[in-house]
Amino acid sequence: MALDFSKELVVKPGKKVKLSHHDADDTLGWQKGRKSKQSLEKAVGKLDGLQYLLYAEHKRALLIVFQGLDASGKDGTIRHVMSGINPQGCRVTSFKSPSAEEAAHDYLWRIHAAVPKTGDFGVFNRSHYEDILVVRVHDLVPKEVWSRRYDQINEFEGILAANNVVILKFFLHISKDEQKKRFLERLDDRQKQWKISEADFNERKYWDDYQKAYEVVLTRCSTQHGPWFIVPANKKWFRNLAVSHVIVETLEAMKMKLPPPSIDVKKIKWR
């Protein structure tokens, strides 16, 4: 099935987002089965060569941001989609509550420190957007503080883009019922019980507040240099398929080329 996942899932700059208009079960016409599995495997396989080109060309870096409510599949997406790349050229950073040192700096300090260097992939499991979302929902800082951060983050990402960091931001969109289902599955699975906490269930009380907070983030912070993609994530197989294709489409659009050799290879003589 020929489909431009990037165009289908991207939030166009300036478009107002209403998450209730996005079906978390949507698969864009794809069906689970052999074809979708092969398409995923092909995309993941392409990432290896594209990562090699990114490193060899050494002109740009790729920053991939994953956001979503608890159990939306951030860890699983990273594990499955990034399985085809060289770990030497990829750094995954998980952003949890700030440490004492991080809290003593501005909220973007720890983020900037984790931005990938030229030629590398950087993957954020949660990100600088937590400093709008969580603080807004839980009223941790005054509105006059967090409301300024939309523009500050856009400017920050603009600086990164101007310095050849290509940014992709994925919101993994699940339904409230699907989240509950996944929480209950974790409770029943001894291999996953460690991942669940009482706080996860308590956060469900703020579901509507988080939906509204995400809608504003997706509306105000999807830009040409830092687009947001809303990925229907109720079906894990489609989530992985969609994310892998968007990354591949973005890298292929760069038209990367291997640099010429630094020596005249024809003059090399073996002794």
The pLDDT value recorded for residue 251 is 97
Within-domain flag for 269: no
* Structure tokens given for 4: 């431009």
Rounded Cα gap, residues 147 and 38, in angstroms: 44
Domain span at residue 119 reads 5-257
Question: How many other CB atoms are there within 10 angstroms of residue 91's CB atom?
Answer: 15
Q: What are the CB-based long-range contacts (under 8 Å, 24+) for 35-40? A: 35/1, 36/237, 36/238, 36/241, 37/237, 39/1, 39/241, 39/245, 40/237, 40/240, 40/241, 40/244
Rounded Cα gap, residues 141 and 52, in angstroms: 43
Within-domain flag for 220: yes
CB within 8 A of 213, min separation 6: which ones?
132, 133, 136, 137
φ, ψ dihedrals at 116, nearest 5°: -65, 150
Q: Quick one: DSSP state of residue 234?
A: S
Query: CATH code at 19?
Result: 3.40.50.300
Q: Do 55 and 89 contact (CB within 8 A), yes or no?
A: yes
Query: Which residue, among 251, 252, 248, 253, has the nearest Cα to 40 in the 3D structure?
Result: 248
Q: What are the CB-based long-range contacts (under 8 Å, 24+) for 128-135? A: 128/95, 128/153, 128/156, 129/65, 129/67, 129/153, 129/217, 129/221, 130/95, 131/107, 132/213, 132/217, 133/67, 133/210, 133/213, 133/214, 133/217
Within-domain flag for 262: no
Within-domain flag for 50: yes
Strands (E), the chain: 61-68, 90-94, 121-125, 165-173, 228-232
Which residues on adjacent β-strands are paired with residue 165? 61
Within-domain flag for 266: no
Would you give per-residue pLDDT tens digits along the chain (271 residues)?
A: 567 999 999 999 999 999 999 999 999 999 999 999 999 999 999 999 999 999 999 999 999 999 999 999 999 999 999 988 999 999 999 999 899 999 999 999 999 999 999 999 999 999 999 999 999 999 999 999 999 999 999 999 999 999 999 999 999 999 999 999 999 999 998 888 888 888 888 899 999 999 999 999 999 999 999 999 999 999 999 999 999 999 999 999 999 999 988 777 677 766 6
* Structure tokens given for 127: 């990100």
Within-domain flag for 268: no
Within-domain flag for 59: yes
Rounded Cα gap, residues 227 and 128, in angstroms: 15
Distance (Å) of CA 37 to CA 5, 44, 143, 237, 241: 16, 11, 45, 8, 8
Within-domain flag for 267: no
> Domains in the chain: how many in total?
1
